[in-house]
Amino acid sequence: MAKISDYLKLVKFSHTIFAMPFALLSFSYAWMTTEPERPLWLLLLQVVGCMVFARNVAMGFNRWADREIDAENPRTANREIPAGVISARGAMWFIVINALLFISLAALINPLCGWLSPVALFIIMFYSYCKRFTSLAHIVLGISLGIAPVGAYMAVTGTSVWECWTLALIVMTWCSGFDIIYALQDAEFDRERGLHSIPSRFSARIALIISALLHVASIALLVVFALSQPQSWLLWTGCAIFALILASEHYIVTPNRQRNIGMAFGTFNALASLSLATFLILNLVVCG
């Protein structure tokens, strides 16, 4: 029987750190600029819970939908479902339970979050099939993760503002960019199987240029967001660190030097989101 740790590995629980800091930043911005009626601790627990349940659905469904493809790819053949650690049926039960928990918890936050929760689930699950028909699957992944800051703001206020949508665009372009880097690993396999991605459609050089342009857009959008915030050295230090880390990804991963993809994808992007959120939330607390 599969253990809890097996399901955590199935959904790469550690990768929750990519979008979670942006959700917490948006949550903090909403809390500091409005007058919420509910206790901070309760609303924060609800938002974090929704984030975890939604991501469990997204990753669990992705692994379930790709189980046959993963079994044929040497890089992914040891994932939990193709390796037989978790059955396809067990994975589907995991997905359904987390989806119900997400919708129920979102409805408890406020009516808007409740009504929009099935829409969010549709988007994040739709991504899993995109590589079967479009090279823009990376953008759909970015949109899926970009839901997080908008949802966090709506949880606090029951509405949205341009700032939270700007954060969503930052997440979308940032995640789309690093997903292109990650997909370089499977470019040849994807071509052979007729799967679609930027690296399988173009050369590694062109794919990395597209990734870099998306990251330039992320930094430009971050500057736009930063200009709307209380100004201090904390704000711009966080932005500078984020930009420097994104630039470093493109320094260590080149068409002829792809052995660092794992470090760029996991370590660098985790540091980027954590450092940015930490500095910008401190900026709100100190200067807000």
pLDDT tens string 111-142: 999 999 999 999 999 999 999 999 999 999 99
Residue 16 or 35, more confident: 35
Token duo for residue 207: 């794919």
- Please give the pLDDT value at position 7: 77
Residue 59 in contact with residue 10, Cβ under 8 Å?
yes
Q: Using the predicted structure, report yes or no on whether residue 186 has a pLDDT greater than 60.
A: yes
- Please give the pLDDT value at position 2: 63
Q: Using the predicted structure, report yes or no on whether residue 1 has a pLDDT greater than 60.
A: no
Percentage of residues of the chain with pLDDT beyond 90: 88
Kindly report, residue by residue over 130-185, the tens digit of the pLDDT: 999 999 999 999 999 999 999 999 999 999 999 999 999 999 999 999 999 999 99
Q: What is the mean pLDDT of residues 17-23?
A: 89
Query: What fold is seen in the domain 4-287?
Result: Tetracycline Repressor; domain 2 (1.10.357)
Percentage of residues of the chain with pLDDT beyond 70: 98
Q: What is the mean pLDDT of residues 200-225?
A: 97
CA atoms of 127 and 222, how far apart (whole Å): 25
How many Cα atoms are found within 13 Å in the side-chain-facing hemisphere of 229?
Answer: 32
pTM: 0.95
Q: Using the predicted structure, report yes or no on whether residue 13 has a pLDDT greater than 80.
A: no
CA atoms of 200 and 187, how far apart (whole Å): 4
Q: What is the mean pLDDT of residues 235-254?
A: 97
Residue-averaged pLDDT of the chain: 94
Greatest distance between any 2 Cα atoms in the chain: 55
Q: Using the predicted structure, report yes or no on whether residue 197 has a pLDDT greater than 80.
A: yes
Contact partners, residue 140, CB within 8 Å, separation at least 6: 123, 126, 127, 130, 134
- Please give the pLDDT value at position 4: 77
Kindly report, residue by residue over 31-59, the tens digit of the pLDDT: 999 988 889 999 999 999 999 999 999 99
- Please give the pLDDT value at position 279: 98
Confidence of residue 231 (pLDDT cuts 50, 70, 90): very high
How distant, in Å, are the alpha carbons of 127, 219, 239, 242 from that of 224? 28, 9, 11, 14
Q: What is the mean pLDDT of residues 253-281?
A: 93
The structural domains of the chain, with segments of one domain joined by +, span 4-287
Token duo for residue 13: 């629980």
- Please give the pLDDT value at position 18: 82
